[in-house]
């Protein structure tokens, strides 16, 4: 296995010991620990080791018991340096990509550079094992580890205080120094010393738990013998309640105090998921044990790590809760799928991520199919397909397998994006979600091509190779079998199936974008032929051209027939011969695709044509959007008689365009039909509401769905009263929940919600009686409130009238009374997940928005505070975000941004930014005339993404997204002209330079190290091209080498990587001790920037002259400059007064 | 011995206390008593007294009454002893003998010349024995039981009798009532809570029409949001899943809601408190070898205590 990292071979075993000290009254939120890495050099002359480490304070580093000097430099702390007045996103994105690359472990880089003591150099030839020992501490970490410490009386255990690790992709470096790469495997021995009342849950097998000598603490000893990458290591500590799975004793569940009954119920079916995966993969679960931990304030709902998963505690539910049950099961199934593909099998590089996400998503889909049924599965696939298609058409393509032939900007495979897809840490969160979605859809396409049997064989092969490899020693060089790569995966597929899936991969994996079809047809009666025309749009963004087979299903009078057409370059028209004549054989039943034979009323159809309906690509075997034109009656037949839920869903969306009595009838029939899939019926409700509104002048009878609802859910004797709740039949429960919501969307001729409907909903609320129900009705009541919200229409306002109670509309008064009562009752009897409060907050916002009550964010702000349930907070924040947009309130925008800075919950911070992106206070187009768009905001956001979010990759990308949404890629228009900016820049440079460089660096390092010595000298520009052979200045020489290492390793660039460097003799084998404190660090980073300015000045001028032609070149130069400045070797900052000695 | 009921009745009536004594029964007792007093007075006159203190007359009346009552009680006992229900003359005779009275002297005494004739007591209605709750039809005797045997008691005392309560009215009214009662209670309760605590208002000028209880951040928000409330748990126990869409007990409704005053401590008491369950579990299933259930080891190097 070729070690991909430059500096060292592989890390075999790390011993870690983390001790947690917690005060009782004032928790210190700190961790101290050490890491011991055993390194087998695979290159001779290993003299530098680069590790990843963020925010850790490193006290000492020893290599084989010798003190080793080290440098710590993290260019991602501050991406662009503050004296730069550049404010365009292109600049930021490329700088950020460069910064991430500069510490990318896959490129052999890292924040922490350890110099192997010269005493050990000679041993390099013998390839002797190096043991690196690092002592570090973490104080109040802002990322990587999250401390939840409720502010109440009592001991930490009584308060339910807990800690867990988190992060987006490889983020383990936030909490201990490591090689933070998915491709560096090693075995682990982990030790955690925690308070005696706590349980430390981590990866691997718990060997033993031992008290410390004072008996006040316990040490948990874990051993993970399966080679595992550092990003798959996690930790959770808390006063957890422990539940051993009754079906599988090697599985242990952990939850916070008092939640055990919920845990028992929620985990009662986990064994089924285990059995399912083990059966289809014909492979045992790879780890000896499995742990699930449910934590509060989780970063993501589900995060999978080696042999354990961390979930949000909000997934737990009791037996009374209907709606959460399938969601929780899905989350568990996802987590477990990732145990096999993602944790056990890791990836070779970021470009291979799609294989892991694809396989885990695909087998998760199989689980869905088995547990929730084929209808649910197909419906899900359709939803996912719609999602990815919508995203790609809107935002541009999603590329699964990015290949980077060069580092040049023009080779960027995704120029349409405002971020780089080269690293997981530069991706927008939305994009990554879509990436995962596309990955599993593509896996399904592969399955379609090679059959499920072969697909599972491939997975089995990958797993069995990996498990063979996992039991081997490192020296056997087998471990790379545990890493999947795109090419090895494809090779397995071709070996197992013997099929060539090259075109498929090329189309969907190596290329971004989806296919957009337009279809229409004509029936040629003379020839009895269906003339189908399929056109493609492959010019708009996010689309690509498709060439290949496509399946078309035609339902005729005599049956259903599949045709496979070949989409070629120039052929648009396809002739499909029909089997039946258009004659009507009245008595005859019509055979369907599934063999069923049904009676149909054929009076609606065209007398000349035997065609009932036509479907293009019914199996969804292309990632496509199809806009197909057929007559309304054909859609109606398709809805009524086609048994595939996807077809029904498509028919319903098409029928929205045909508001006719016939459509109404078809939809009503579907609504009533109990055999019909409930999601289809739910969709039919909303479609029916739309149709009714379109037909408002000709509509006869009671409001749509009212009589239906009465018939299904009201008492026989008194039709205005709903039956007491009984949700034992889930299908009708979901329908009962949805119909009022859809009905409330009905509007009369005045465009108001009909009085009859409103009263009906109010009656439903009034007569709602759940006492005899074994399920909670909280979701049902919440949806009734949603129905009230939906019934709201804008108030008729007489110019700027202040909204008071007295001029409240009578209907609105009734609604408001209900909402008040619900919201108040919730304080006394909180509902599960506070669903009712969430709905009430939305309702209040709608009342405000429609001008019924005064618009005011105060209420929402109080609900958005820390200390409310997270769903409530999100709903309240959503309202504030909306208020900010509608009322253009800079004060509230500021309030939101402050929360992004300060809120303790990472999820909330992420959510605020993503909601601001979805519902921005202004957009690029509006920026010019929005009072919100000003220089201060630009600076604030810039600061946020530049340095304010360095502890959370996801948050930084969210901030980038927001910046993009508000200002676009170019320099925000509200800023002074760029030329002016440049002048300012120059001026400021002078102003900044003097105070930054001398006094601070001097005082800082001078104070710290009494006898510091640094090897680096401030290099001049010329020295960059220093010749190795002729150099005598060792310091410059070293600088040069380090700079080389910082650069991304590209095949051609680093032939001798790393090079043995004769280190200068040093009086003390010690580097100046680097502090990991971010603020201090940030400061000395500024220093080495001033030389860059000289360069930049030239460049800027240049740039503006030849803006377009040379932009890419300039960027490249800029990048070089940055690489140079970001390098730890730009160590003039380390220069201390004593260097002159 | 005086019949306690009679005594207490008369005493009570004089002191004007309880109104609980039924009117006709009281009259009946008073009339009897008055007759007895007349009898005592006439006997005294017969024996040559001209006047008597009221208290003395009362005492004598009391003695007389006791004596007669005892005769009656005893005669009834003799009659029932021979399995009859109506005393006959011999029963009374035996009684008198038993009480030490020479029966033979009675005819002579009755026919004495100087005896005074007193008017018959006024006819008052015999007291209506308040019927115990009579439900259903009393059963008549089967043919083998003579008719003079006592009647069967009310059927509900010895066989199952369904009790019907006239439905308040039809279903609709019940539901209506339940719904509005619940709503009133909820509104009253929430208004009360709003008045006693901090509130928010949707209108700046009017703070009372739609008072909203101000949200209070909780230190552990997920507990109240995830755990089912006590009410729900209780409802779940009572519920049987079968559809019961007929009778709703409207009176239970407000009680249910009022009695539920959610307090965190209450919820805690319902659920097993932390840490207890796992240990119980581990002792139950000590077969399970799970590393998290194993006891914590003592440190290897032990100090001397």
> How much of chain A exceeds pLDDT 90, in percent?
55
pLDDT band for A84, please (50, 70, 90 cuts). low
Q: Mutate which of B274, B276, B287, B297 to disrupt the A interface (most A C-beta within 10 Å)?
A: B274
Buried b (16+ CB within 10 A) or exposed e, A691-719: bbbbbbeebeeebbbbebbbebbbbeeee
Structural element, H or E, at residue A613 = strand A611-616
Whether A804 sits inside 8 A of B206 (CB atoms) is: yes
Q: What is the mean pLDDT of residues B101-112?
A: 87
| Candidates B190, B214, B245; nearest CB to A715 | B245
Is residue B250 within 8 Å of B227, Cβ to Cβ? no
At A131, is the secondary structure helix, strand, or coil?
A: strand
Quick one: pLDDT at residue B48? Answer: 87
pLDDT for B106 beyond 60? yes
Report, in angstroms and rounded to the nearest whole number, the Rg of chain A calculated over CA atoms.
32
Quick one: pLDDT at residue B116? Answer: 79
What is the overall mean pLDDT for chain B? Answer: 73
Cα–Cα distance for residue pair A39/A68, rounded to 1 Å: 15
| Closest among A604, A610, A654, A611 to A633, alpha carbons compared | A604
Quick one: pLDDT at residue B146? Answer: 85
What is the overall mean pLDDT for chain A? Answer: 81
Higher pLDDT, B25 or A731: A731
Whether A771 sits inside 8 A of B229 (CB atoms) is: no
Quick one: pLDDT at residue A217? Answer: 87
Q: What is the mean pLDDT of residues A365-385?
A: 96
Quick one: pLDDT at residue A372? Answer: 94
A13 beta partners: A187
| Candidates A159, A213, A866; nearest CB to B217 | A866
At A57, is the secondary structure helix, strand, or coil?
A: strand
Q: Residues of A with CB below 8 A from B236's CB? A: 320, 774
Q: Residues 826-865, chain A: which have Cβ within 8 Å of B?
A: 827-830, 832-834, 844, 847, 853-854, 856, 858-859, 862-863, 865
| Candidates A262, A771, A859; nearest CB to B226 | A262
Quick one: pLDDT at residue A1030? Answer: 35
Cα–Cα distance for residue pair A364/A367, rounded to 1 Å: 5
| Distances from the Cα of A656 to the Cα of A650, A696, A793, angstroms | 10, 14, 22
| Closest among A336, A319, A317 to A275, alpha carbons compared | A336
A759-769 pLDDT, tens per residue?
999 999 999 99
**Helix pair angle (A270-281, A452-470), 10° resolution:** 100
**A448 Rama sector, left if φ>0, alpha if ψ -120 to 50, beta otherwise:** alpha
pLDDT for A69 beyond 60? yes
List CB contacts of B106: < 8 A, sequence separation 6 or more: B96
Higher pLDDT, B33 or B248: B33
Q: Where are the domains of chain B?
A: 4-110, 168-243
Is residue A57 within 8 Å of A140, Cβ to Cβ? no
Q: Residues of B with CB below 8 A from A827's CB? A: 190, 193, 213, 215
Cα–Cα distance for residue pair A172/A52, rounded to 1 Å: 9
Quick one: pLDDT at residue A859? Answer: 93
Higher pLDDT, A523 or B258: A523
Is residue A348 within 8 Å of A484, Cβ to Cβ? yes
Is residue A107 within 8 Å of A1116, Cβ to Cβ? no
| Candidates B239, B243, B262; nearest CB to A829 | B262
Distance (Å) from the C-alpha of residue B150 to the closest C-alpha of chain A? 48
Q: Which two tokens stand for residue B102?
A: 């020479």
Quick one: pLDDT at residue A82? Answer: 65
pLDDT for A198 beyond 80? yes
- Measured between CA atoms, the residue of chain A closest to residue B261 is A828
Higher pLDDT, A1027 or A675: A675
What's the number of CA atoms in the CB half-sphere (13 Å) around residue B67? Answer: 12
B170-191 pLDDT, tens per residue?
788 888 989 999 999 998 998 8
Q: Given the structure tokens 């399955």, which residue do they identify? A: A447
For A734, phi then psi, to 5°, come to -65, -35
The sign of the CA dihedral A883, A887, A892, A897 is positive
Most confident listed range (A518-532, A1025-1039, A1109-1123): A518-532
| Candidates B202, B217, B299; nearest CB to A212 | B299
Cα–Cα distance for residue pair A1084/A997, rounded to 1 Å: 8
A1038-1051 pLDDT, tens per residue?
444 444 444 333 33
Is residue A401 within 8 Å of A355, Cβ to Cβ? no
Cα–Cα distance for residue pair B51/B39, rounded to 1 Å: 14
| Distances from the Cα of A518 to the Cα of A390, A531, A603, A621, angstroms | 16, 14, 28, 16
CA angle B182, B188, B194 (to 5 degrees): 130
- A1058 preceded by a cis bond (ω within 30 of 0): yes
Q: Report helix, strand and coil shares of chain B as percent, to nearest 5.
A: 50, 0, 50
Whether B290 sits inside 8 A of A249 (CB atoms) is: yes
Q: Which two tokens stand for residue A773?
A: 């129900």
Higher pLDDT, A756 or A1107: A756
Cα–Cα distance for residue pair A771/A724, rounded to 1 Å: 8
Q: Is B294 on the interface with A (CB under 8 A)?
A: yes
Distance (Å) from the C-alpha of residue B204 to the closest C-alpha of chain A? 8
Q: Which two tokens stand for residue A578?
A: 């029909």
Q: Residues of A with CB below 8 A from B239's CB? A: 771-774
A1047-1073 pLDDT, tens per residue?
333 333 333 333 323 333 333 333 333
- Measured between CA atoms, the residue of chain A closest to residue B195 is A824
Q: Is B239 on the interface with A (CB under 8 A)?
A: yes
pLDDT for A1081 beyond 60? no
Q: Answer whether CATH 1.10.20.10 is correct for domain B4-110.
A: yes
Identify the weakest region by mean pLDDT among A676-685, A820-829, A973-982, A1007-1016: A1007-1016
> DSSP E strands: which ranges in A52-105?
57-63, 66-67, 70-72
A286-334 pLDDT, tens per residue?
999 999 999 999 999 999 999 999 999 999 999 999 999 999 999 999 9
pLDDT for A1019 beyond 50? no
A161: DSSP letter: -
At B36, is the secondary structure helix, strand, or coil?
A: helix
pLDDT band for A359, please (50, 70, 90 cuts). very high
| Closest among A229, A230, A189 to A207, alpha carbons compared | A189
List CB contacts of B45: < 8 A, sequence separation 6 or more: B116
Quick one: pLDDT at residue A997? Answer: 30
Identify the weakest region by mean pLDDT among A117-121, A299-303, A807-811, A1131-1135: A1131-1135
Quick one: pLDDT at residue B132? Answer: 59
The sign of the CA dihedral A115, A117, A121, A124 is negative
Is residue A592 within 8 Å of A640, Cβ to Cβ? no
Q: Is B186 on the interface with A (CB under 8 A)?
A: yes
Q: Which two tokens stand for residue A635?
A: 């859609």
Higher pLDDT, B242 or A843: A843
pTM here is 0.76
| Distances from the Cα of A1132 to the Cα of A70, A148, A1085, angstroms | 15, 40, 10
pLDDT band for B155, please (50, 70, 90 cuts). confident
pLDDT band for A15, please (50, 70, 90 cuts). very low
pLDDT band for A832, please (50, 70, 90 cuts). very high
Identify the weakest region by mean pLDDT among A126-130, A245-249, B217-221: A126-130
Quick one: pLDDT at residue A1060? Answer: 29
């Amino acid at each position: 296995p070729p070690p991909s990292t430059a500096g060292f071979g592989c890390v075999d075993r790390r011993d870690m010991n983390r001790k947690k000290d917690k005060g009782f009254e004032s928790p210190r939120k700190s961790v101290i620990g050490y890491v011991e890495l055993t390194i087998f050099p695979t290159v001779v002359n290993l003299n530098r080791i680069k590790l990843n480490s963020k925010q850790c304070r490193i006290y000492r580093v020893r290599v084989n018991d010798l003190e080793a000097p080290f440098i710590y430099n993290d260019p991602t702390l501050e991406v662009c340096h503050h004296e730069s007045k550049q404010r365009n996103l292109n600049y930021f994105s490329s700088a950020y990509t460069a910064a991430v690359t500069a510490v990318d472990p896959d490129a052999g880089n890292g924040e922490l550079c350890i110099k192997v003591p010269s005493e050990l150099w000679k041993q390099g030839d013998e390839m002797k094992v190096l043991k690196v020992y690092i002592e570090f501490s973490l104080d109040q970490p802002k990322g990587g580890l999250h401390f939840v410490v409720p502010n109440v009386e009592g001991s930490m255990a009584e308060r339910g205080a807990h800690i867990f690790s988190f992060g987006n992709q490889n983020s383990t470096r936030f909490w201990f120094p490591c090689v933070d790469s998915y491709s560096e495997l090693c075995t682990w021995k982990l030790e955690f010393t925690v308070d005696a009342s706590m349980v430390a849950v981590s990866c691997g097998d718990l060997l033993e738990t031992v008290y410390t000598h004072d008996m006040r603490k316990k040490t948990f000893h874990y051993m993970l013998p399966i080679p595992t990458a550092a990003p798959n290591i996690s930790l959770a500590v808390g006063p957890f309640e422990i539940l051993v799975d009754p079906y599988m004793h090697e599985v242990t569940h952990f939850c916070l105090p008092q939640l055990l009954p919920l845990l028992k119920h929620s985990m009662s079916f986990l064994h089924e998921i285990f059995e399912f995966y083990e059966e289809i993969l014909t492979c045992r679960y790879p780890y000896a044990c499995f742990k699930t931990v449910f934590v509060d304030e989780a970063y993501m709902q589900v995060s999978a790590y080696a042999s354990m998963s961390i979930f949000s505690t909000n997934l737990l539910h009791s037996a009374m809760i209907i709606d959460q049950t399938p969601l929780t099961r899905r989350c568990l199934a996802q987590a477990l799928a990732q145990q096999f593909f993602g944790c056990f099998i890791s990836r070779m590089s970021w470009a291979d991520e799609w294989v892991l996400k694809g396989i885990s998503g695909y087998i998760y889909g199989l689980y869905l199919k088995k547990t929730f049924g084929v209808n649910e599965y197909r419906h899900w696939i359709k939803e996912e397909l719609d999602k990815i298609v919508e995203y790609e058409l809107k935002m541009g393509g999603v590329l699964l397998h990015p290949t980077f032939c060069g580092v040049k900007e023009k080779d960027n495979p995704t120029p349409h994006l405002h971020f780089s897809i080269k690293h997981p840490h530069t991706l927008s969160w939305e994009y990554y979600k879509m990436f995962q979605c596309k990955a599993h859809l593509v896996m399904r396409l592969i399955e379609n091509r090679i059959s499920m049997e072969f697909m599972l064989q491939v997975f089995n092969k990958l797993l069995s190779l990996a498990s063979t490899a996992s039991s081997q020693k490192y020296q056997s060089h087998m471990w790379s079998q545990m890493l999947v790569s795109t090419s090895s995966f494809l090779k397995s597929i071709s070996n197992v199936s013997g099929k060539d899936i090259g075109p498929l991969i090329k189309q969907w994996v190596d290329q971004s974008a989806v296919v957009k079809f337009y279809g229409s047809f004509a029936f040629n009666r003379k020839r009895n032929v269906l003339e189908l025309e399929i056109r493609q749009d492959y010019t708009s963004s996010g689309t690509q051209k498709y060439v290949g087979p496509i399946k078309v299903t035609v339902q005729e009078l005599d049956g259903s027939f599949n045709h496979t057409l070949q989409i070629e370059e120039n052929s648009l028209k396809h002739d499909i011969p029909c089997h039946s004549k258009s004659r009507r054989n009245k008595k005859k039943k019509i055979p369907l695709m599934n063999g069923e034979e049904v009676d149909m009323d054929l009076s609606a159809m065209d007398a000349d044509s035997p065609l009932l309906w036509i479907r293009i690509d019914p199996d969804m075997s292309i990632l496509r959007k199809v806009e197909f034109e057929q007559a309304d009656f054909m859609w109606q037949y398709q809805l009524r008689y086609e048994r595939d839920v996807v077809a029904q869903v498509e028919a319903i969306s098409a029928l929205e365009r045909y508001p006719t009595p016939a459509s109404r009838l078809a939809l009503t029939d579907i609504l009533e039909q109990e055999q019909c899939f409930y999601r289809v019926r739910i969709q039919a409700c909303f479609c029916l509401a739309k149709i009714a509104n379109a037909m408002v002048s000709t509509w006869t009878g009671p409001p749509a769905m009212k009589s239906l609802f009465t018939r299904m859910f009201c008492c026989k004797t008194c039709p205005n009263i709903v039956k007491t709740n009984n949700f034992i039949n889930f299908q009708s429960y979901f329908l009962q929940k949805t119909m009022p919501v859809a009905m409330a969307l009905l509007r009369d001729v005045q465009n108001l919600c009909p009085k009859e409907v409103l009263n009906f909903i109010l009656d439903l609320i009034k007569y709602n009686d759940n006492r005899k129900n074994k399920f909670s009705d909280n979701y049902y009541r919440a949806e009734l409130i949603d129905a009230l919200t939906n019934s709201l229409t804008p108030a008729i306002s007489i110019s700027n009238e202040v909204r008071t109670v007295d001029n409240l509309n009578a209907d609105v008064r009734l609604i408001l009374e209900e909402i008040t009562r619900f919201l108040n009752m919730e304080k006394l009897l909180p509902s599960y997940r506070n669903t009712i409060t969430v709905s009430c907050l939305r309702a209040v916002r709608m009342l405000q928005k429609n001008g019924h009550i005064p618009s005011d964010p105060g209420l929402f702000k109080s609900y958005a505070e820390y200390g409310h349930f997270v769903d409530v907070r999100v709903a309240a924040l959503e309202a504030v975000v909306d208020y900010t947009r509608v009322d253009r309130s800079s004060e509230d925008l500021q309030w939101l941004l402050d929360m992004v800075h300060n809120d303790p919950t990472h999820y909330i911070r992420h959510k605020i930014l993503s909601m601001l992106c979805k519902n921005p206070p202004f957009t690029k187009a509006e920026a010019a005339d929005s009072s919100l768009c000003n220089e201060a905001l630009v600076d604030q956001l810039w600061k946020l993404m530049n340095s304010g979010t360095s502890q959370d990759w996801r948050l930084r990308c969210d901030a980038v997204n927001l910046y993009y949404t508000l200002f676009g890629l170019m320099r925000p228009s509200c800023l002074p002209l760029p030329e002016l900016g440049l002048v300012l820049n120059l001026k400021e440079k002078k102003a900044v330079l003097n105070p930054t460089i001398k006094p601070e660096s001097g005082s800082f390092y001078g104070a710290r190290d009494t006898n510091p010595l640094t090897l680096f000298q401030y290099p001049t520009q010329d020295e960059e091209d220093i010749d190795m052979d002729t150099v005598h200045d060792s310091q410059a020489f070293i600088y040069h080498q380090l700079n080389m290492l910082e650069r991304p390793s590209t095949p051609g660039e680093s032939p001798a990587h790393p090079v043995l460097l004769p280190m200068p003799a040093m009086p003390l084998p010690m580097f100046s001790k680097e502090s990991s404190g971010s603020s201090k660090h940030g400061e000395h980073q500024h220093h080495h920037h001033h030389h860059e300015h000289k360069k930049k000045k030239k460049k800027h001028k240049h740039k503006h002259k030849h803006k377009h032609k040379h932009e890419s070149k300039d960027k490249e130069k800029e990048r070089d400059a940055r690489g140079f400045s970001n390098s730890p070797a730009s160590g003039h900052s380390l220069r201390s007064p004593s260097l002159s000695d | 011995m005086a019949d306690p009921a009679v005594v207490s009745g008369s005493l009570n009536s004089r002191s004007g206390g309880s109104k609980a004594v039924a009117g006709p029964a009281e009259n009946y007792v008073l009339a009897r008593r008055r007759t007895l007093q007349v009898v005592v007075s006439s006997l005294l006159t017969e024996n040559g007294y001209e006047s008597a203190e009221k208290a003395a007359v009362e005492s004598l009346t009391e003695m007389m009454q006791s004596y007669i009552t005892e005769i009656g009680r005893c005669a009834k006992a003799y009659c029932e002893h021979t399995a009859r229900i109506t005393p006959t003359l011999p029963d009374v005779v035996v009684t008198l003998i038993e009480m030490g009275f020479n029966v033979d002297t009675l005819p002579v005494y009755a026919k004495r010349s100087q005896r005074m004739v007193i008017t018959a007591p006024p006819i008052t209605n015999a007291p209506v024995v308040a019927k115990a709750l009579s439900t259903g039809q009393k059963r008549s005797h089967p043919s083998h039981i003579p008719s003079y045997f006592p009647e069967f008691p009310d059927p509900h005392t010895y066989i199952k009798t369904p009790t019907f309560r006239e439905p308040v009215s039809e279903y609709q009214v019940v539901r209506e009532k339940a719904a509005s009662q619940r709503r009133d209670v909820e509104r009253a309760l929430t208004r009360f809570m709003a008045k006693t605590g901090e509130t928010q208002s949707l209108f700046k000028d009017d703070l009372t029409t739609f008072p909203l209880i101000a949200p209070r951040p909780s230190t552990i928000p997920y507990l109240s949001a995830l755990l089912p409330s006590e009410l729900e748990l209780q409802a779940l126990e009572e519920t049987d899943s079968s559809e019961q869409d007929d009778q709703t007990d409207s009176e239970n409704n407000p009680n249910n809601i009022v009695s539920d005053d959610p307090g965190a401590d209450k919820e805690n008491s319902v659920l097993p408190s932390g840490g207890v369950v796992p240990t119980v579990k581990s002792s139950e299933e000590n077969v399970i070898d799970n590393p998290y259930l194993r006891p914590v080891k003592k440190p290897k190097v032990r100090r001397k205590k």
